[in-house]
């Protein structure tokens, strides 16, 4: 009997994770934020980090 319970828990857990995964994917595709805006923000963040690293290296 315990084997059956663990089997059901495993199957239900995998199914729940799959449903959550599909929900997240759908939500991300319906996002109002355009890809270009996200890409620009990422590029700016990388540039800031690069400048900060250069400054730290210059101060050392």
Average pLDDT over the chain, rounded to an integer: 90
pLDDT for position 58 = 82
Give the CA count within 13 Å in the CB-facing half-sphere of 54. Answer: 6
pLDDT for position 35 = 80
- Cα gap 4→2, rounded to integer Å: 5
**Does residue 33 register a pLDDT over 90?**
no
**What number is the average pLDDT over the span 52-58?**
89
Q: How large is the C-alpha radius of gyration of the chain?
A: 22
Q: What angle do CA 35, 17, 33 make, to 5 degrees?
A: 15
Higher pLDDT, residue 50 or 60: 50
- Cα gap 3→6, rounded to integer Å: 5
Higher pLDDT, residue 3 or 41: 41
């Amino acid at each position: 009997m315990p084997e059956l319970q663990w089997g059901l828990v495993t199957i239900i857990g995998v199914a729940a994770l799959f449903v959550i995964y599909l929900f997240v994917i759908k939500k991300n595709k319906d996002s109002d934020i355009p890809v270009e805006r996200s890409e620009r923000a990422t590029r700016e963040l990388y540039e800031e980090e690069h400048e900060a690293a250069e400054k730290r290296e210059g101060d050392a």
